[in-house]
Amino acid sequence: MLEVRGLAKHFGGVRSVDGIDFTIRPGEVFGLIGPNGSGKSTTVNLISGLYEPTGGQILFEGNDIGRVPAHRRLSLGLARTFQNIRLFSNLTVWENLWMAENAPSHRTGGFLKRWIGGRKEARDRMKRALEFSGLAHRADDFAGSLAFGEQRRLELARALAAEPKLLLLDEPAAGMNAEEIAELDERIRLLQKESYTILLIEHHMELVMAVTDRICVLNFGRKIAEGTPVEVQADAAVREAYLGAAA
């Protein structure tokens, strides 16, 4: 579904992402891990179109999207959440979903059909996304009044309302307590059952090891390992990268 080839992003002399390759297969939960500053968020920013690559290719369903604008990538079926929550705090939960819904649609049909049929469809989609995220009762509350864990869930709901083919989650558990992480774990498993394809960046190792099919490990902008959770955990280079980072 997604193939990254020799992907690179340099900021001046800083090689945030320095020529990485990986492939995400349909229906897979693919983990992207690595110490702080290893290039994980930059990779998601490249895939979602926030940054233009310095080099390399991003193939989504066979097409190079490396220079396609971000809103077009959303309409192609790529949706994301942010490591640092980005919501409109002075809009309601429902309005925050509308903002995402107003992005162009990858669903087919002529303009008129989409306009007439689309509004009810969009409402239903938004309702389902809110229910799935446990936020239906908060629809009319300001996003700014939500607890932190709820804001994270709203980010997820907003990405889901776009009915993405590939969902990019950048540290969705950051700042969550144990109970919230357990709920997130459950939600990711449900999405996986519904055959969503997911790229998950996460530093809660228990969560990553439990929900991912395969994992790519970055260090200093380069891939140092790739494999199943069991393989990656046993990898000497991975252990060293994490121990080095902790020291």
Residue 11 interacts with, from Mg ion, ligand ADP, none (CB under 5-8 Å by kind): ligand ADP
DSSP secondary structure string for all residues of the chain: -EEEEEEEEEETTEEEEEEEEEEE-TT-EEEEE-STTSSHHHHHHHHHTSS--SEEEEEETTEE-TTS-HHHHHHHTEEEE-SS----TTSBHHHHHHHHHTSPP-S-S-HHHHHHHHHHHHHHHHHHHHHHTT-GGGTTSBGGGS-HHHHHHHHHHHHHHT--SEEEEESTTTT--HHHHHHHHHHHHHHHHTT-EEEEE-S-HHHHHHH-SEEEEEETTEEEEEE-HHHHHT-HHHHHHHHHHH-
In the complex, least distance from residue 120 CB atom to ligand ADP, rounded to whole angstroms = 39
Q: How many residues bind ligand ADP (CB under 6 A)?
A: 11
Residue 16 interacts with, from Mg ion, ligand ADP, none (CB under 5-8 Å by kind): ligand ADP
In the complex, least distance from residue 9 CB atom to ligand ADP, rounded to whole angstroms = 8
In the complex, least distance from residue 173 CB atom to ligand ADP, rounded to whole angstroms = 14
41 scored as a contact of ligand ADP (CB under 6 A): yes
- Which tokens in the block code for residue 78? 């790529």
Contact segment (CB under 5 A) with Mg ion among 35-43, 152-160, 189-197, 212-220 equals 35-43
37 scored as a contact of ligand ADP (CB under 6 A): yes
Residue 102 interacts with, from ligand ADP, Mg ion, none (CB under 5-8 Å by kind): none
41 scored as a contact of Mg ion (CB under 5 A): yes
Contact 58, 4 (CB under 8 A): yes
In the complex, least distance from residue 88 CB atom to Mg ion, rounded to whole angstroms = 22
49 scored as a contact of ligand ADP (CB under 6 A): no
48 scored as a contact of ligand ADP (CB under 6 A): no
11 scored as a contact of ligand ADP (CB under 6 A): yes
Q: What are phi and psi of 25, to 5 degrees?
A: -90, 155
45 scored as a contact of Mg ion (CB under 5 A): no
Considering the complex, state which of residue 146 and residue 241 has its C-beta at the smaller distance from ligand ADP.
Answer: 241
152 scored as a contact of ligand ADP (CB under 6 A): no
Contact residues for Mg ion (CB under 5 A)? 40-41, 83
